A = this chain, B = another copy of it.
């Protein structure tokens, strides 16, 4: 591999001159510059980015850590981040949180391989993040609330989302409202549940413990929860599922029980994943604008790196997406 030294030698100039020439610095006269560029070409010189980053002590790259590099769920978010960073000439690289202490995530976080990180990976331990806090290394978390005043939070307003969904069902005349939740330790789920409870309370509707179920955020979990709901005898007239995956599973269970949706039972989800519009009936749900989240996160990180920022806690609104799985209660 040719280094800048080889280029300099071939062009008959000092290494520093070669460096200036290769970076189009106007200090070198165009004649010399041309010679250098030619030498670089003949040697097929490729700069060593690592050496460069080391010297300049910055990488102009932001890392995003996601659960498993595979979630269709992150699509829009990444696009948002990518688009925004690109306008600032920053790069974006993604890695997964899988792999524990040898994971690339750890490298990103601790070894200064990127100038800042965006985190959206439940499985990444809080401690790892907190240990990585240091000056001039912006960390944005999208999936939890951490107790450190240098960490920036961009969170979705899950509470309002849960409230909105529930209120929508109430507005349609439903009073028997079940809740199929995600893992109980999951923060998003907790907040969505709080929203649900608050909405019931505000309308003076009593919360019915046997209608509170757990579906682990999975399709299978939603299916089981739906089955249980049916077997209990006193079926509710509407169900709020804390995510769309579970709603898909629950719908299956309800259909198998012979219910017509939304005629016999209304159901609303959360997330607005892609398949929600293709299932039958198309699912009403609560949507968070992932593109905006990504874009905001990227924007904040750039600001933090270059101009400094003021606020450190951002709460983004949710939006109701009404399709055909919810309807006015039949009398």
| A interface residues (Cβ-Cβ under 8 A, vs B) | 1, 44, 46-54, 59, 61, 63, 68-72, 74-76, 78-79, 82, 86, 89, 91-96, 98-99, 102-104, 107, 110-113, 131-132, 134-135, 248, 274-275, 278-280
- For chain A, what secondary structure do more than half of its interface residues adopt (helix, strand, loop), or is it mixed? mixed
CA distance A230 to B162 in the complex (A): 45
Complex partner residue of A103 from B59, B91, B99, B113, CB under 8 angstroms: B91
Q: Are B71 and A75 in contact (CB under 8 A)?
A: yes
Q: Would you list the 10 A-B pairs with minimal beta carbon distance, nearest first? A: A49-B111, A72-B72, A91-B104, A70-B75, A69-B78, A94-B94, A46-B110, A93-B93, A93-B95, A50-B54
User: Nearest residue in B to A112 (C-beta to C-beta)?
Assistant: B48
A54, A93, A98, A112, most chain B CB atoms within 10 A: A93
Chain B residues whose CB sits within 8 angstroms of the CB of A48 once the complex forms? 54, 111-112
Q: Are A49 and B79 in contact (CB under 8 A)?
A: no
A71, A79, A91, A134, most chain B CB atoms within 10 A: A91
Q: Are B94 and A49 in contact (CB under 8 A)?
A: no
Q: Are B91 and A93 in contact (CB under 8 A)?
A: no
Complex partner residue of A46 from B78, B79, B111, B274, CB under 8 angstroms: B111
